[in-house]
Amino acid sequence: MEYLTLKNSDLKVSRMCMGGCPMGGYGWGSNVLESELIDAVHCALDNGINFFDTADTYGLGQSEKILGKALKGRRDKAVIASKFGVHAKNGMPTFYDNSPEWIKSSIKGTLKRLDTDYLDLYQIHYRDEKTPLSEVVDTLEELKKAGYIRYYGLSNIHKSDIPELKEYKGRFVSFQDEYSLACRKNEDDFLNLSKNLCLTPLTWGSLGQGILTGKYDRNTVFADDDRRSRDIYVNFHGEKLEKNLEIVEVLKNISNDTGKSIPAIAIRFILDFLTDSVVLVGIKRPSQLKANIEAFGWKLDDEQIKILDEISKN
């Protein structure tokens, strides 16, 4: 495993982070089993992965509960990140809320579900566009001084946010957004935010919701309870699907040359292309994890990076 220290912190984390969205269950099909999720967390720890990312909105708290159960007795081996800012209830419209009251309420619920006294990293899931950033930062500093959180970070921000965020350079330690060979639209944001705000980039959707694993093709049909059946998940539909399948063919060729799994090649591209990044990967079972960790302990050569760069440019 490879490690780095999140900027502006003393958090030494694995460069692969186990993403907790599938752990929430909602929208990932009926084959997401709690027992396999817990086994996957244990497998991650046993293979040197110490970084776990979740959110209070994933499965309306279910993800945090399962992660807390899986880390029982091994909390000291894990760096846990969660997110706040999304009001979500069954049957109610979802909206964003960064108010101090909601942050303080959210952290209490998160800590209870995770069965822990503190959170290593607390992230703004989405800005609500109304609460002043100064109030958000003051509240997070209050939680930090109280010992509820160690550090805080950002999610779903862009280079256009840099002027507002510059005042707080050195306070936030990380930011995350979507990035993969199937989605490079945020690449300029990643490079600018990392450089100008001294933040460690975390990439979610690193395997394009699974299209970059090589398991799916144009004949794949997802069940209605799998979010990827919806057109909004563009990686599996229309022209975008055809483009992604071209990328997968290149991944297969490099896989044959290197002896590494197809998802490992896709992950390795991010690790080599964004050299100070952490790759978030949603894991549902240990077998997926084992294929993904083949990404570590080697590097793509310049020609392989060039080929993947050219085939995947937006």
Quickly list DSSP for 237-293.
Answer: SHHHHHHHHHHHHHHHHHHHHH---HHHHHHHHHHHHSTT-EEEEE-SSHHHHHHHG
Q: Residue 313 to residues 149, 236, 243: CA-CA distances in angstroms?
A: 38, 17, 10
List, for residues 189-233, the tens digit of each pLDDT value: 999 999 899 999 999 999 988 899 988 777 777 677 777 777 777
| pLDDT score for 28 | 57
| pLDDT score for 247 | 95
| pLDDT score for 226 | 74
> What would the mean pLDDT of 229-248 be, rounded to a whole number?
83
Q: Residue 170 to residues 52, 139, 194, 236, 287: CA-CA distances in angstroms?
A: 23, 16, 12, 39, 38
| pLDDT score for 93 | 75
User: Whole-number mean pLDDT of the chain?
Assistant: 91
> What would the mean pLDDT of 133-155 be, rounded to a whole number?
97
> What would the mean pLDDT of 292-301 be, rounded to a whole number?
95
Q: Is the pLDDT of residue 84 over 80?
A: yes
- List, in order of start, the domains of the chain with CATH numbers: 3-309 (3.20.20.100)
| pLDDT score for 25 | 66
Catalytic residues: 58
